[in-house]
Structure 1
Amino acid sequence: MSQAPMVCQPVSIVSPVTLSSEGSWSTGRYDCCSDCLMCCVGFCCPAILSCYVSHKYGEHCCLGLVPGGMTALRTEMRHSYGIPGTVCRDALSMCLCGWCELCRMAREVHTRSLS
């Protein structure tokens, strides 16, 4: 009983977040004052906010707890929203400014899911 090898990546189910070609984040990396409550949660308990972002984007909520999970999610968000960048910049952003990027991702997914 052998199975044929997989030759391409499986296509993901359409996420509830709308694809866009706007080309930029709706807020800046350091615009914490635009949603103080979300930034307070991100600063006090980033694990909760990362689970919220993952779930709100349509991924499993535990993705935020997996090492590298938020970098992968940021890359996917960037691609689906048409925001230019690279995987290397995504990884550096999450390593150097993780809290700020997490808060920005939360604001982005919240804003785009409302429209």
Structure 2
Amino acid sequence: MATVVVQQPLGKTGMEAWNSGICDCGQDLNSCCYAYWCFPCFTCTTTADFGESTCLPLLDILGPALMAAFGIGVCVPPVGLAMRVAVRYKYQIGGSICEDIMVTCCCMWCSWCQMSREIKARKKDVRVLQRNPLMQPVPMGVNPQVVTMQQPTVICTPPVGPGPAVQMVQIKPGVPPGAM
């Protein structure tokens, strides 16, 4: 009797889905209109929002022309495909390279609009961290790992005789007196 083992494809468990569908341009009409009226500018803006070089998408425009000049046909826009794969991996979105190729080849505008919506949605995710009450403010322009400022320790001694109390201040070495 044969044993059948069913395995999940690698990387599929724990993956998220896109925040919007490929044809959900109605969720962000400003980006949709921007992509429709000036697609090269839109792709450059989306790439910059993702943290990559602003001029990178221009290779999708100039690349096929250069490849055709050398007799090589290109049907998959390389930067559009690379960006889509990079967005999927950075945000741990499920999918496959085959899906990315199909979406990028069949509807490049929709693919870029979906990536733009995803990048904007992920930038809106703000995680609020609780501030540690023991942390003290650090002066502007000072690297807290290089300079540690400590408060002076005040030691009061009881009065000796009829005069006022004597106050001694202990200053830590390496800290300028005016910085306290």
**2:112 matches 1:90:** no
* TM-score under structure 1 length normalisation: 0.76
8 Å contact from structure 1 (residues 63, 70) kept in 2: no
Tell me by how many angstroms 1:80 deviates. Answer: 1.2
**2:109 matches 1:99:** yes
Q: After TM superposition, list the pairs within 5 Å mapping 1:21-60 onto structure 2.
A: 23-60=16-53
Equivalent position of 1:78 in the other structure: 88
Q: What amino acid does structure 2 have at the position aligned with 1:106?
A: S
Q: Secondary structure at the match of 2:57?
A: helix
The separation in 2 between residues aligned to 1:100 and 1:44, in whole angstroms, is 14
1 or 2, which has the higher strand percentage?
A: 2
The separation in 1 between residues aligned to 2:15 and 2:99, in whole angstroms, is 19
Please say which structure displays the higher CA radius of gyration. 2
List per-residue Cα deviations over 1:22-72 (Å, max 9, x = no partner): 611111111111111100111111111110111000000112222211210
Q: Secondary structure at the match of 1:63?
A: coil
1 or 2, which has the higher helix percentage?
A: 1
Cα–Cα, structure 1 residues 109 and 103, in superposed 2: closer, same or farther, change >3 Å?
same
Structure 2, unmatched stretches of 5+, are: 1-13, 61-77, 126-180
Which residue, 64, 75, 84 being the options, matches 2:57? 64
8 Å contact from structure 1 (residues 54, 64) kept in 2: yes
* TM-score under structure 2 length normalisation: 0.50
Alignment size in residue pairs: 95
The separation in 1 between residues aligned to 2:25 and 2:58, in whole angstroms, is 22
What CA RMSD, in Å, does the superposition of the two structures yield over aligned residues? 1.3
